[in-house]
Amino acid sequence: MSTQELLIQAASKNAELLQGLNDTAYASSAIQQSQAYLSDIDRETKDCDAQVRSLESKTKTKLADHKKYAESTARRFMHRAVGKKEKFAEKVSKEEREYVEALAEENQAKSRRGEWVKNRDEARKHHAELEGINSTHRRLQAELDALYDSIFAGPTPEFADEDQKEWALRQASDALNDAKRRHEAEAQAVKCLHDADRFMNEALRAFDDARNYSRVDMFGGGTLTDIMERRALSRAQSAADKVKMMVAEAQRLVSDIQDLGNIDIPHGHIMSDIIFDNIFTDMAQHDRIKNSQAQAQREARNLKDLLGRTQQRSGHLLQEANAASARLETSRKELQQIRQDTFERVARPPTHDQAVA
Run of H or E residues at 295: helix 279-347
Q: Please name the amino acid found at residue 136.
A: T
For CA atoms 198, 202, 203, 204, the dihedral sign is: positive
Q: Please name the amino acid found at residue 120.
A: R
Spatial contact of 31 and 127, defined as CB atoms under 8 Å apart: yes
C-alpha distances out from residue 111 to 106, 108, 211, 235, Å: 9, 5, 62, 57
Dump pLDDT digits (tens) for 137-180.
999 989 988 988 888 888 888 788 888 888 998 899 899 999 99
- Average pLDDT taken over every residue of the chain: 81
C-alpha 325/C-alpha 330 separation (Å) is 9
**Of 178 and 275, the one with more pLDDT:** 178
- Averaged pLDDT for residues 37-50: 86
Angle among Cα 98, 99, 101 to the nearest 5 degrees reads: 65
User: Of 214, 199, 232, 226, whose CA–CA distance to 299 is shortest?
Assistant: 199
C-alpha 60/C-alpha 287 separation (Å) is 65
Dump pLDDT digits (tens) for 93-145.
676 777 778 888 888 888 888 888 888 888 889 899 999 999 999 999 899 88
Dump pLDDT digits (tens) for 277-336.
556 666 777 788 888 989 999 999 999 999 999 999 999 999 999 999 999 989 988 988
